[in-house]
Amino acid sequence: MCPRNTVAARGNLVNMWNYLQGRGEFLGFLTYQHASLAFQTVLVGTIVAVLIAIAVHRLPLFSALTLTTSRVALTIPSLALLALLIVPFGLGVVPSFIMLAFFAAMPVIGNAIVGLRSVPDSVIESARGIGLPRRRILFSVSLPMAWPVILTGIRVSTQMVVGVAAIVAYVLGPGLGSLIFNGLSRLGGTNSVEMALTGTVLIVVIALVFDGLLVLLGRLTIAKGLS
Amino acid sequence: MTDEKTGSAADTVAGERTVTGASIRLDGVVKQYRGQTKPAVQKLDLDIEAGHIVAFVGPSGCGKTTTLKMINRLIEPTEGRIFIGDRDVTGEDPDKLRQSIGYVIQSGGLFPHWSVAKNIGAIPRVLGWNAQRIAERTEYLLDLVGLDAATFEDRLPKDMSGGQQQRVGVARALAADPPVLLMDEPFGAVDPITRGRLQDKLIAIQHELGKTIVIVTHDFEEATKLGDKVLILSEGGHIEQYATPEEILAKPATPFVEEFVGSGATLAHLTLSRVKDVEHDPVVTARIGEPSDEVIGRARAQGVTWIVVVDGDGRAQAWPSLDEVATKDRVSDYVDPRLPVVAPSSTLNDALDSMLAASQGGVLVTDSRGAVTGALTIATVMAVIRGQLSDARAGDGHVTYTAHTEGTTP
């Protein structure tokens, strides 16, 4: 409405365009790095989480303990954990990776335990009763039946990790976080706002793309009889 | 694992039945749970003949399910030995053992994420059968339990009725052709009419295959209908009586049995009389599309007021009265979904149930393939009840008040 604002907005857009101009390759690389970090940490976190869930799901007490622990662990500030990890591992990729994998595992542990425990006893009993070996029951009955719930956990964890991954820039970790922190620390300087904004938008884009891919994965892998 | 050679298979012949089952022997079997003073099952000795159906029945907590599950070692016996055929199974690998014993639980216990075919093929796949053999076996078994293979093969459990799921559960249990079939309250979750049909199907399957079947139920009626012998247990797996249903009703061994089976009640005997044991009225059948005049003429000649419309295989579709038939030129293809039908192996109790459920004074009797062979009217059932009542009066003059009123009130 106010012409001056419109001009300013247009000015911002022009500035943004100027910033993006020629930095395509650099931004593409950071985005790739960020996405790759999130993907790998969620993958490792999920595998560890599912293994833990498999180990404890048949023991009610351990299940409850693990479930509570995983929820409490999520309240640890990521920055604090990162700072602690610098002591043994120094700066860079290693502490970043461990911190993110840790946070990625937490929502999946809970869902995997709940999912595995919600497989009806009657189904397990009939599986044992007809002579399916224990390992086979786990892989061809329990896990497929728990998979929709586990996948929901993976979606939650992916969203979280893609966001939290920005923080690893503090310990010189990889990804789009560097854009945001550089931008914010030089606030008022040339391109500072544009940098932070670009980083944030790209992170949101990564999160949306991953979520879409996970929904697709669900469509392809969740057994029809379970929906 | 085709276990046809196991134990006393094929050499024990019960009547004219084919026997592919194996005998089961429990020898001093005890189950003591940790932290409980009384054992769940105390020193149980039991012989189950090859090719027989034995029903375990008793109040809840009597150890009937525990005993059943000890046979396939879902529950490990604390003491004692269990033989199937002549092999002692107490030391066998439990998975291998269970692969050679069929197991069916309430509502089938199907894997919800697998199709019917995949459910049935579960154990054959573990045993390493090739796809061709599994497919043939699946088709045979679905046919055996009375489901059309082409229609149901790819169906998911959630898209089937409880009765259909139960049939698939039986098919899955029979997949590897085990000599023994264990069933834990298999028909507990279906409505009475469906239950009656499933029981008839089980009897038919048993006659065809001659497996040894052990079935746990809390329903004495079901036990008498299915069991060649009935095992009545009281708390702690104590055997109150192990005998044929007729013997139990005629001579209850203990007061516990007497009370449990309600042996005074006349209607209890209806579970012993089968549809095949009583006379049927002939029916006049007509094919869909036959000229109505001809059909009515045929019916009048026989002196009946209604006819049964059958399909190409002789299966009943509807039973219109002659007036209804007369309203159209040709016999219509209307299918009556509430048509009461019983098998020859059904008890008179089932027949009465079907009549009441359909609000009809009769039921149609079909053979094992579903073709109509006759009709059973409520008058016939009443005649049986009257006969039994006068037998009881003549026998010892001791007719309880309940029996009297149940038997004679119109």
More confident residue, B401 or A68: A68
Please report, rounded to a whole number, the percentage of residues in chain B having pLDDT higher than 70: 90
What pLDDT score was predicted for residue A8? 59
Say if residue A46's pLDDT is above 90.
yes
- pLDDT, mean of residues B166-185: 92
Least confident of A46-50, A53-57, A114-118, A175-179: A175-179
Count of residues for chain B? 410
Higher pLDDT, B128 or B403: B128
**Token pair recorded at residue B123:** 């154990």
pLDDT tier for residue A6 given thresholds of 50, 70 and 90? low
Contact: A123, B112; criterion CB under 8 Å: yes
Q: Which residue has the higher pLDDT, B344 or B9?
A: B344
Q: Judge: B95–A131 Cβ closer than 8 Å, yes or no.
A: yes
Q: Which two structure tokens, joined as six digits, stand for B158?
A: 């959630």
How far is B274 from B7, CA to CA, in rounded Å? 32
What CATH code is assigned to B24-100+178-263?
3.40.50.300
The lowest-confidence range among A181-185, B103-107, B255-259, B260-264 is: B260-264
**Cβ–Cβ of B113/A226 closer than 8 Å?**
yes
pLDDT score at B275: 85
Q: How many degrees, rounded to 5, is the angle at CA A211 between CA A37 and CA A218?
A: 115
Which of B97, B104, B111 is the closest to A123 by Cβ? B111
Residue range A57-77, pLDDT digits in tens: 999 999 999 999 999 998 999
CATH number of A36-226: 1.10.3720.10
A interface with B, Cβ–Cβ below 8 Å: 122-123, 125-134, 136, 141, 144-145, 223-226
Parallel, antiparallel or unpaired: strands B180-184 and B101-105: parallel
Confidence of residue B10 (pLDDT cuts 50, 70, 90): very low
pLDDT digits (tens, 9 = 90+) for A72-103: 998 999 889 988 998 898 888 899 999 999 99
**A126-132 mean pLDDT:** 91
* Terminal CA-CA length for chain B: 55
Instruction: Give the pLDDT score at B401.
Output: 44
Please tell me which residue of chain B has the smallest CA distance to A144: B113
Q: Which residues contact B338 (CB under 8 A, 6 or more apart)?
A: B357, B358
Burial zone of B404 (CB within 10 Å; 0-12 exposed, 13-18 middle, 19+ buried): middle
Please identify, in words, the CATH class of the domain defined by B277-381.
alpha beta
Burial class (CB in 10 A: 0-12, 13-18, 19+), B316: buried
Whether residue B395 has pLDDT greater than 60:
no
CA atoms lying within 13 Å on the CB side of residue B147: 28
| Model pLDDT, residue A150 | 96
Q: Which residue has the higher pLDDT, B404 or B293?
A: B293
CA dist., res. B29 & res. B81, Å (int):
6
- Residues in chain A within 8 Å Cβ distance of B173: 130
Q: Tell me what the pLDDT averaged over chain B comes to.
A: 83
Three-state DSSP string of B174-236: CCCCCCEEEEECCCCCCCHHHHHHHHHHHHHHHHHHCCEEEEEECCHHHHHHHCCEEEEEECC
Are B47 and B21 a contacting pair, CB within 8 Å?
A: no
Of residues B393 and B248, the one with the higher pLDDT is B248
Q: Containing H/E element for B52?
A: none
Reported confidence tier of residue B370, pLDDT bands at 50, 70, 90: confident
Does residue B61 register a pLDDT over 90? no
Which residue(s) pair with B25 in the sheet?
Answer: B47, B83
**Considering chain A, what percentage of its residues have pLDDT values greater than 90?**
59
Quick check: helix, strand or coil at residue B395? helix
Q: How far apart are CA B40 and CA B31, in angstroms?
A: 6
Please name the residue that has the structure tokens 């789009």. Answer: A176
Per-residue pLDDT tens for B186-222?
A: 988 888 888 888 898 899 889 888 999 999 998 888 8
CB atoms within 10 A of CB B278: 15
**A194 vs chain B: nearest CA distance in angstroms?**
50
DSSP A98-166: HHHHHHHHHHHHHHHHHHHHTS-HHHHHHHHHTT--HHHHIIIIIHHHHHHHHHHHHHHHHHHHHHHGG
**Of the candidates B203, B198, B170, the residue with the CA atom closest to the CA atom of residue B274:** B203
Contacts of B172 in chain A (CB under 8 A): 130
Report the C-alpha gap between B38 and B78 in whole angstroms.
13
Test A225 with B156 for CB contact under 8 angstroms. yes
Q: Which residue of B has its CA nearest to A121?
A: B109
Q: Within chain B, which residue ranges are assigned CATH 3.10.580.10?
A: 277-381
Rounded mean pLDDT of B228-256? 88
Residue predicted with more confidence, B395 or B387: B387
- Cα separation, B83 vs B27, in Å, equals 8
Distances (CA, A) of B284 to A49, B287, B305, B324, B372: 69, 10, 10, 15, 10
Farthest-apart Cα atoms in chain A, separation:
78
ipTM: 0.80
Closest to B212 in 3D by CA, of B15, B10, B21, B404:
B21
Mean local confidence (pLDDT), B128-143: 92
Do B109 and A123 make contact, defined as CB atoms within 8 angstroms? yes
What is the per-residue pLDDT across B65-120, written as a single tens digit (0 to 9) for each? 999 999 999 999 998 999 998 888 888 888 989 998 999 998 778 999 999 999 99
